[in-house]
A and B are shown apart, each in its own frame.
Chain A
Amino acid sequence: MIRMVNNYQGPWSLLDDLVSMQDDFNRLFDDRNGVSRFGRRSYPPVNVWQSADSVIVDAELPGVDPNAVEISVVDGALTLSGKRAGELDQAETVHQRERQEGEFSRTIQLPYRVDADKVLATYRNGVLRVTLPRAESDKPKRIQVKAA
Protein backbone atom coordinates (compact mmCIF):
# COMPACT_ATOMS: atom_id res chain seq x y z
CA MET A 1 0.00 0.00 0.00
CA ILE A 2 2.85 2.36 0.67
CA ARG A 3 4.47 3.48 -2.49
CA MET A 4 7.94 4.85 -2.50
CA VAL A 5 8.46 5.30 -6.17
CA ASN A 6 12.00 6.28 -6.91
CA ASN A 7 12.86 6.09 -3.28
CA TYR A 8 16.41 7.27 -3.53
CA GLN A 9 18.83 6.04 -0.92
CA GLY A 10 21.85 8.20 -1.30
CA PRO A 11 25.15 8.13 0.55
CA TRP A 12 23.36 10.18 3.17
CA SER A 13 19.71 10.81 3.50
CA LEU A 14 18.52 14.39 3.52
CA LEU A 15 15.06 13.57 4.70
CA ASP A 16 13.80 10.51 6.46
CA ASP A 17 10.12 9.94 6.52
CA LEU A 18 8.86 9.32 9.99
CA VAL A 19 5.88 7.24 9.12
CA SER A 20 4.21 6.10 12.26
CA MET A 21 2.03 3.08 12.74
CA GLN A 22 -0.89 5.46 12.80
CA ASP A 23 -0.01 6.74 9.36
CA ASP A 24 0.35 3.24 7.98
CA PHE A 25 -3.02 2.42 9.41
CA ASN A 26 -4.56 5.47 7.83
CA ARG A 27 -3.02 4.74 4.49
CA LEU A 28 -4.74 1.39 4.48
CA PHE A 29 -8.09 3.06 4.83
CA ASP A 30 -7.49 6.35 3.15
CA ASP A 31 -5.44 5.42 0.19
CA ARG A 32 -5.67 8.78 -1.46
CA ASN A 33 -2.06 9.08 -2.46
CA GLY A 34 -2.89 6.77 -5.29
CA VAL A 35 -0.57 4.58 -7.19
CA SER A 36 1.90 6.09 -9.57
CA ARG A 37 -0.06 7.54 -12.45
CA PHE A 38 -3.79 7.38 -12.12
CA GLY A 39 -4.30 3.71 -11.72
CA ARG A 40 -6.87 1.93 -9.65
CA ARG A 41 -8.82 4.90 -8.35
CA SER A 42 -10.64 7.38 -10.48
CA TYR A 43 -9.05 10.78 -10.66
CA PRO A 44 -9.88 13.37 -9.60
CA PRO A 45 -11.83 12.36 -6.48
CA VAL A 46 -15.19 14.09 -6.45
CA ASN A 47 -18.09 14.92 -4.19
CA VAL A 48 -21.47 15.38 -5.82
CA TRP A 49 -24.33 17.28 -4.21
CA GLN A 50 -27.78 17.99 -5.50
CA SER A 51 -30.76 20.19 -4.78
CA ALA A 52 -34.02 20.53 -6.67
CA ASP A 53 -32.47 23.17 -8.93
CA SER A 54 -28.79 22.36 -9.36
CA VAL A 55 -25.93 19.92 -8.97
CA ILE A 56 -22.57 20.73 -7.43
CA VAL A 57 -19.47 18.71 -8.27
CA ASP A 58 -16.37 19.36 -6.15
CA ALA A 59 -13.18 17.86 -7.58
CA GLU A 60 -9.86 17.76 -5.74
CA LEU A 61 -7.30 19.06 -8.21
CA PRO A 62 -4.47 20.63 -6.23
CA GLY A 63 -1.92 22.53 -8.25
CA VAL A 64 -3.85 22.30 -11.49
CA ASP A 65 -4.33 25.48 -13.51
CA PRO A 66 -8.12 25.82 -13.49
CA ASN A 67 -8.06 27.44 -16.92
CA ALA A 68 -6.47 24.32 -18.33
CA VAL A 69 -9.23 22.02 -17.11
CA GLU A 70 -11.72 21.09 -19.80
CA ILE A 71 -15.26 20.96 -18.51
CA SER A 72 -17.88 19.52 -20.82
CA VAL A 73 -21.46 18.41 -20.45
CA VAL A 74 -22.88 15.87 -22.88
CA ASP A 75 -26.09 13.91 -22.46
CA GLY A 76 -26.47 14.47 -18.74
CA ALA A 77 -22.86 13.60 -17.96
CA LEU A 78 -20.08 15.92 -16.84
CA THR A 79 -16.52 15.29 -18.03
CA LEU A 80 -13.47 16.88 -16.42
CA SER A 81 -10.19 16.45 -18.22
CA GLY A 82 -6.78 18.03 -18.17
CA LYS A 83 -3.20 17.48 -17.26
CA ARG A 84 -1.38 17.61 -14.00
CA ALA A 85 2.17 18.70 -14.52
CA GLY A 86 5.00 17.40 -12.41
CA GLU A 87 7.68 19.55 -10.89
CA LEU A 88 10.47 17.09 -11.11
CA ASP A 89 12.13 18.59 -14.14
CA GLN A 90 13.98 21.12 -12.05
CA ALA A 91 15.44 18.41 -9.87
CA GLU A 92 18.95 17.18 -9.75
CA THR A 93 18.01 14.19 -7.67
CA VAL A 94 14.55 12.78 -7.04
CA HIS A 95 14.26 11.46 -3.49
CA GLN A 96 10.57 10.72 -3.33
CA ARG A 97 7.78 10.83 -5.83
CA GLU A 98 4.25 10.25 -4.62
CA ARG A 99 2.16 13.00 -6.20
CA GLN A 100 0.15 11.99 -9.20
CA GLU A 101 0.91 13.54 -12.51
CA GLY A 102 -0.11 13.15 -16.09
CA GLU A 103 -3.35 13.39 -18.00
CA PHE A 104 -6.70 12.72 -16.40
CA SER A 105 -10.28 12.44 -17.54
CA ARG A 106 -13.31 11.61 -15.52
CA THR A 107 -16.97 11.44 -16.46
CA ILE A 108 -19.68 11.79 -13.85
CA GLN A 109 -23.30 10.90 -14.51
CA LEU A 110 -25.55 13.70 -13.33
CA PRO A 111 -28.87 13.04 -11.58
CA TYR A 112 -30.83 15.10 -14.13
CA ARG A 113 -30.39 17.12 -17.30
CA VAL A 114 -28.58 20.43 -16.85
CA ASP A 115 -28.35 23.66 -18.79
CA ALA A 116 -24.87 23.47 -20.29
CA ASP A 117 -24.83 27.19 -21.05
CA LYS A 118 -25.21 28.13 -17.41
CA VAL A 119 -22.52 25.91 -15.90
CA LEU A 120 -20.32 27.81 -13.46
CA ALA A 121 -16.84 26.80 -12.29
CA THR A 122 -14.76 28.19 -9.43
CA TYR A 123 -11.42 27.10 -8.02
CA ARG A 124 -10.20 27.54 -4.49
CA ASN A 125 -7.42 25.90 -2.47
CA GLY A 126 -6.97 23.23 -5.08
CA VAL A 127 -10.63 22.26 -5.26
CA LEU A 128 -12.61 22.84 -8.44
CA ARG A 129 -16.32 23.43 -7.92
CA VAL A 130 -18.63 23.04 -10.88
CA THR A 131 -22.22 24.19 -10.41
CA LEU A 132 -24.70 22.86 -12.96
CA PRO A 133 -28.22 24.32 -12.97
CA ARG A 134 -31.04 21.97 -13.81
CA ALA A 135 -32.47 22.40 -17.29
CA GLU A 136 -35.80 24.21 -17.26
CA SER A 137 -37.32 21.51 -19.43
CA ASP A 138 -36.32 18.91 -16.83
CA LYS A 139 -37.81 20.62 -13.80
CA PRO A 140 -40.90 18.98 -12.40
CA LYS A 141 -44.00 20.99 -13.16
CA ARG A 142 -47.03 21.26 -11.05
CA ILE A 143 -50.20 20.76 -13.01
CA GLN A 144 -53.06 22.85 -11.84
CA VAL A 145 -56.18 20.84 -11.46
CA LYS A 146 -59.22 22.84 -12.32
CA ALA A 147 -62.23 22.36 -10.19
CA ALA A 148 -65.16 21.04 -12.11
Chain B
Amino acid sequence: MTQGTDVLSPERGTVESQEVNRVTAVCTPAVDIVERRDDVLLTVDLPGVDDGALEVNVENGILTIAGQSRLESVQGFEPVYREHVAVAYRRVLRLSDRLNPAGITAHLRQGVLRLAVPKREEIKARRVPISAG
Protein backbone atom coordinates (compact mmCIF):
# COMPACT_ATOMS: atom_id res chain seq x y z
CA MET B 1 0.00 0.00 0.00
CA THR B 2 2.99 2.31 0.11
CA GLN B 3 3.58 2.18 -3.63
CA GLY B 4 1.68 4.28 -6.07
CA THR B 5 2.43 7.57 -4.37
CA ASP B 6 4.71 8.65 -7.17
CA VAL B 7 2.58 11.65 -8.08
CA LEU B 8 3.26 13.25 -4.76
CA SER B 9 6.32 14.48 -3.05
CA PRO B 10 7.18 12.50 0.07
CA GLU B 11 6.73 13.65 3.63
CA ARG B 12 5.89 17.24 4.32
CA GLY B 13 5.66 17.00 8.06
CA THR B 14 7.67 18.68 10.72
CA VAL B 15 10.00 16.51 12.74
CA GLU B 16 7.57 15.65 15.47
CA SER B 17 4.74 14.83 13.13
CA GLN B 18 6.65 12.92 10.52
CA GLU B 19 5.71 9.54 11.82
CA VAL B 20 2.07 10.48 12.08
CA ASN B 21 2.11 11.87 8.57
CA ARG B 22 3.84 8.99 6.88
CA VAL B 23 1.66 8.24 3.89
CA THR B 24 0.55 4.65 4.15
CA ALA B 25 -2.26 4.49 1.62
CA VAL B 26 -3.40 5.80 -1.69
CA CYS B 27 -7.03 6.73 -1.49
CA THR B 28 -9.64 7.41 -4.13
CA PRO B 29 -11.59 10.41 -2.85
CA ALA B 30 -15.38 10.47 -3.08
CA VAL B 31 -16.65 12.79 -5.80
CA ASP B 32 -20.02 14.18 -6.77
CA ILE B 33 -20.38 15.21 -10.39
CA VAL B 34 -23.34 17.34 -11.37
CA GLU B 35 -24.11 19.08 -14.58
CA ARG B 36 -25.48 22.58 -14.62
CA ARG B 37 -26.57 24.74 -17.52
CA ASP B 38 -23.16 26.13 -18.39
CA ASP B 39 -20.71 23.87 -16.61
CA VAL B 40 -20.01 20.63 -14.81
CA LEU B 41 -19.35 20.89 -11.07
CA LEU B 42 -17.12 18.37 -9.35
CA THR B 43 -17.12 18.23 -5.55
CA VAL B 44 -14.32 16.18 -4.02
CA ASP B 45 -13.83 15.31 -0.34
CA LEU B 46 -10.20 15.87 0.63
CA PRO B 47 -10.14 16.04 4.44
CA GLY B 48 -6.80 17.09 5.88
CA VAL B 49 -5.49 18.54 2.61
CA ASP B 50 -4.49 22.17 2.49
CA ASP B 51 -4.03 24.09 -0.73
CA GLY B 52 -0.26 23.75 -0.68
CA ALA B 53 -0.58 19.98 -0.82
CA LEU B 54 -3.08 19.83 -3.66
CA GLU B 55 -2.43 19.60 -7.37
CA VAL B 56 -5.02 19.76 -10.09
CA ASN B 57 -3.76 19.19 -13.61
CA VAL B 58 -5.36 18.90 -17.00
CA GLU B 59 -3.40 17.43 -19.83
CA ASN B 60 -4.74 16.07 -23.10
CA GLY B 61 -8.23 16.08 -21.69
CA ILE B 62 -7.27 14.10 -18.58
CA LEU B 63 -8.02 15.79 -15.28
CA THR B 64 -5.87 14.64 -12.38
CA ILE B 65 -6.58 15.58 -8.78
CA ALA B 66 -3.78 14.69 -6.38
CA GLY B 67 -3.50 15.77 -2.79
CA GLN B 68 -1.83 14.67 0.39
CA SER B 69 -3.57 14.86 3.70
CA ARG B 70 -1.71 15.84 6.81
CA LEU B 71 -2.69 15.05 10.33
CA GLU B 72 -2.39 17.74 12.97
CA SER B 73 0.43 17.39 15.44
CA VAL B 74 -0.15 15.21 18.48
CA GLN B 75 3.20 15.57 20.17
CA GLY B 76 3.23 13.98 23.60
CA PHE B 77 0.09 11.95 22.94
CA GLU B 78 -0.28 8.28 22.32
CA PRO B 79 -2.79 6.73 19.94
CA VAL B 80 -5.85 5.11 21.49
CA TYR B 81 -7.92 4.50 18.42
CA ARG B 82 -7.17 5.12 14.79
CA GLU B 83 -9.44 5.18 11.77
CA HIS B 84 -7.78 7.64 9.47
CA VAL B 85 -4.19 8.10 8.43
CA ALA B 86 -2.31 10.52 6.23
CA VAL B 87 -3.12 9.43 2.69
CA ALA B 88 -2.31 10.36 -0.87
CA TYR B 89 -5.58 11.13 -2.59
CA ARG B 90 -5.69 10.58 -6.31
CA ARG B 91 -8.49 10.71 -8.83
CA VAL B 92 -8.19 10.76 -12.59
CA LEU B 93 -11.05 11.71 -14.86
CA ARG B 94 -11.31 12.07 -18.60
CA LEU B 95 -12.98 15.25 -19.75
CA SER B 96 -15.27 15.16 -22.73
CA ASP B 97 -14.16 17.32 -25.63
CA ARG B 98 -17.41 19.18 -25.12
CA LEU B 99 -15.89 20.74 -22.02
CA ASN B 100 -13.41 23.61 -22.01
CA PRO B 101 -10.47 22.68 -19.76
CA ALA B 102 -8.92 26.14 -20.13
CA GLY B 103 -11.77 27.65 -18.14
CA ILE B 104 -11.64 25.39 -15.07
CA THR B 105 -11.89 27.10 -11.72
CA ALA B 106 -10.90 25.39 -8.45
CA HIS B 107 -11.65 26.24 -4.84
CA LEU B 108 -10.55 24.30 -1.80
CA ARG B 109 -12.41 25.07 1.40
CA GLN B 110 -12.90 23.08 4.59
CA GLY B 111 -11.37 20.00 3.03
CA VAL B 112 -13.68 20.05 0.02
CA LEU B 113 -12.48 20.82 -3.51
CA ARG B 114 -14.96 22.34 -5.94
CA LEU B 115 -14.06 22.34 -9.60
CA ALA B 116 -16.23 24.03 -12.21
CA VAL B 117 -15.52 22.89 -15.74
CA PRO B 118 -17.28 25.10 -18.27
CA LYS B 119 -18.95 23.66 -21.32
CA ARG B 120 -17.72 24.86 -24.65
CA GLU B 121 -19.65 27.83 -25.91
CA GLU B 122 -21.18 25.98 -28.80
CA ILE B 123 -22.89 23.41 -26.62
CA LYS B 124 -24.22 25.63 -23.86
CA ALA B 125 -27.94 25.54 -23.56
CA ARG B 126 -29.53 28.47 -25.26
CA ARG B 127 -32.97 29.83 -25.04
CA VAL B 128 -34.34 30.00 -28.53
CA PRO B 129 -36.26 33.19 -29.07
CA ILE B 130 -39.73 32.63 -30.41
CA SER B 131 -41.10 35.33 -32.59
CA ALA B 132 -44.75 36.04 -32.26
CA GLY B 133 -46.86 36.55 -35.25
Query: Does A46 lie within 8 Å of B83, measured CB to CB?
Result: yes
Interface size of A by CB at 8 A reads 56
Interface size of B by CB at 8 A reads 55
Query: Does B93 lie within 8 Å of A16, measured CB to CB?
Result: yes
Known: A12-B98, A127-B72. A48 touches B110 (CB 8 A): no
Query: Can you offer 30 A-B residue contacts whose CB atoms are under 8 A?
Result: A15-B63, A15-B94, A22-B26, A26-B4, A26-B26, A26-B27, A26-B28, A30-B1, A30-B25, A32-B84, A48-B79, A48-B82, A51-B76, A55-B80, A60-B48, A61-B111, A62-B47, A86-B32, A87-B34, A88-B32, A92-B34, A94-B33, A95-B34, A96-B31, A99-B32, A125-B47, A126-B48, A127-B48, A127-B72, A129-B72
Extra contacts besides A12-B98, A61-B47 (4): CB < 8 Å? A14-B40, A15-B63, A127-B48, A129-B72
Interface residues of B (CB under 8 A from A): 1, 4, 25-37, 40-43, 45-50, 62-63, 69-72, 74, 76-84, 87, 90-96, 98-99, 109-112
